[in-house]
Structure 1
Amino acid sequence: MKKTMAWIMAAAMCLTATACGSTASSTASAAGSTAAGTVESSSVEGAFNLGLICPLSGSSAVSGQIMQNATKMAVDEINAAGGINGTIPINLVSVDDEGVPATSVTAMQKLVEQDKVNAVIGAQASSCTLANMEITKAAKIPQITPASSNVAVTQSGNDYIYQLTAT
C-alpha cells in the first residue's frame, strides 16, 4: 500500500508540474472555496483520502488553481481505472491556504484532524510548507510539496515530507 500511495502521489505531482503551463480553468469557485475551507468533499469511508493544500484565493490563486485542477485530473484518471490497485477509490479533499503561513497551518490541521487524510499534496509556497509540515510529521502522514524550494524543507530531518522542486 505504501508503494502504491507513493506512485499515486508521484503521478499526481507529475500531472501538476505538467499542467503548470496550461490554462486550465478553476473548479474552486464553482465548489464554493473559502479560506482554509474544503472545496472538494470531506473524507469518505473506505476511500483513500488525499489532501491538497494550495492557494485557491489571494495573490497566488492562479498557480494554486492549476495545481488543484492537475491533481483532480490525476485522481479522476486513477478512479476511472478502478482506484488504487483497482479497488480503493481516491477522495480528493482540497483546502485553500491563501498562500499565507498562518492560514496554511489552520488548513493543514483541518485536513489531518477533521478530514482524516491519508496523505497530503502541498503546500505550494515554502513559507507555508515550513509552517505546516510539522503537523503531518506528528500525524505520520506523508506530504509531498510540488513547488516549495527552500532547502530547510528537506534539511529539517522530517521523514514525512518530500520535496519535488530543486533547491
Structure 2
Amino acid sequence: TIATALLLAHGFCAWLSTLAWTLKSTNVKGVVSWLVPVGFLLHAGWLAFVLHLAGPLQPGRVALPAKFRTVLYLDVFGWLPGPHGQRGGAPSSASTDRDRPSVGHLRDSLRQLCLRLYSELQRDAAFWEGQDVADQATLERIDGLRERLQGRAAEL
C-alpha cells in the first residue's frame, strides 16, 4: 500500500545516506546532500497520508479518528451515534416525564441496593473475625465498624 511504500522508502533513504556518509568519498557527499532531505520529505508524506486515513467519518462533526476500529470502543464522551441514531451520552429530546422512573421506584431500588451491599459487608466482615485471622485490636475495630454499620442500616 501507499503507507508501506512511503515508510519503507523513508527507511531506505536513511540507510542509504548513512552508508554513503560512512564511505567518506567526495563523490558520495553530493548524494547525501540530496538524499537526506528526500528521506525527510518521504517521512512527512507518510505522516500526511496516515493522518488522512485517520480522518473523521463525517467531517465537521466528530474529531476522532473513527476509521480505526479500536477507536470505536473509546467513545468516552458519547459523541458517536448510538444504534438508533441518537448520540451516546446525550439525553433524548423526545423523552417525556412518563419515560422517567418515579421517585418511589428509585427509592425502592436504592434501598434494595443498600440492603444487598449491607449483607455483603456483613459477610466480608465475618471473614476477619476469627482468632486465627486477626489480633484483638483488629477484632475490636471490626466490632466498632459493625455497630456503626448496623446503626446506619437501621435508618433504612
For the superposition of Structure 1 and Structure 2, which TM-score range results when normalised by the shorter chain?
under 0.3
TM value normalised by structure 1: 0.21
Query: Which structure features the higher share of strand residues?
Result: 1
Query: Which structure features the higher share of helix residues?
Result: 2
Higher relative contact order (CA 8 A, sep 6+): 1
For the pair shown, which has the larger CA radius of gyration, 1 or 2?
2
TM value normalised by structure 2: 0.22
